[in-house]
Amino acid sequence: MEGFDYRHQTTITKRQVNALLDFAFLDNRENLVFIGPPGVGKTHLAIGIGQKAIEACYRVLFRNALDLVEELEIAEMKGELKKALHRLAKVDTLVIDELGYLPMGRQARYALFQLINRFYEHRSLIITTNKDFTSWGEFFHDDNVAVPIVDRIIHHSPLYLLGGESYRLKQKTLS
């Protein structure tokens, strides 16, 4: 967290981030959602908050959305989805990075819904995405799936809309 450049990312303040580090959102089973274009610090914040949570003795698991969905699909094909969901739900928070980056097939949507439903009001999610919720029907290919997933995610979630230019692109142009 110490390396986060608040001068570059002006849509979230150090005070807002520090307020999250009391981990009341974890104790209250709330989610955090960071929305914004690539390179604005979503993943940095999610990892940093997750790391601080680990230091505070919370159990945290980080998964890239694509890897997570693939893991769930494989478990489903093996008839072990319930077991995989149970294992994932042993953490206090699951960080899902880059949700919505790629479209999902029917089996992946089903598995992800099962995971989100399992966590709903029992565990916390920290989600990073470059898609606002009105676009989730696109990568789920089905508003009938997107709406209940979004509903469960945002019901107990502060949403942080991050903006600005890509930090990576800025660094590249300076060198």
Distance CA 134, CA 140 (A): 12
Q: Which helix (H) or strand (E) holds 51?
A: helix 42-55
Distance CA 7, CA 103 (A): 33
For residue 131, the model assigns a pLDDT of 83
Cα angle at 131 between 63 and 170, to 5 degrees? 85
Nearest to 123 by CA among 103, 145, 153, 150: 153
* pLDDT tens, residue order, the chain (175 aa): 778 887 777 788 899 999 999 999 999 999 999 999 988 889 999 999 999 999 999 999 999 999 999 999 999 999 999 999 999 999 999 999 999 877 778 888 889 999 999 999 999 999 999 988 777 767 666 667 778 888 898 898 899 999 877 765 555 555 5
Those residues whose C-beta lies under 8 Å from the C-beta of residue 104, and which sit 6 or more positions away, are: 69, 112, 139, 140, 141
For residue 7, the model assigns a pLDDT of 75
State pTM to two decimals. Answer: 0.89
Domains of the chain, by residue range, sit at 14-174
Nearest to 14 by CA among 33, 41, 50: 41
| Tokens describing residue 28 | 């209250």
For residue 104, the model assigns a pLDDT of 79
Which strand ranges, in their side-by-side order, compose the sheet holding 159-161?
A: 60-64, 93-97, 124-129, 32-35, 159-161
Distance CA 118, CA 107 (A): 17
Distance CA 116, CA 153 (A): 7
For residue 60, the model assigns a pLDDT of 98
For residue 43, the model assigns a pLDDT of 94
Distance CA 66, CA 110 (A): 14
For residue 172, the model assigns a pLDDT of 54
For residue 76, the model assigns a pLDDT of 94
Instruction: Supply φ then ψ for residue 135, to 5 degrees.
Output: -100, 0
- Domain 14-174 falls in which CATH fold? Rossmann fold (3.40.50)
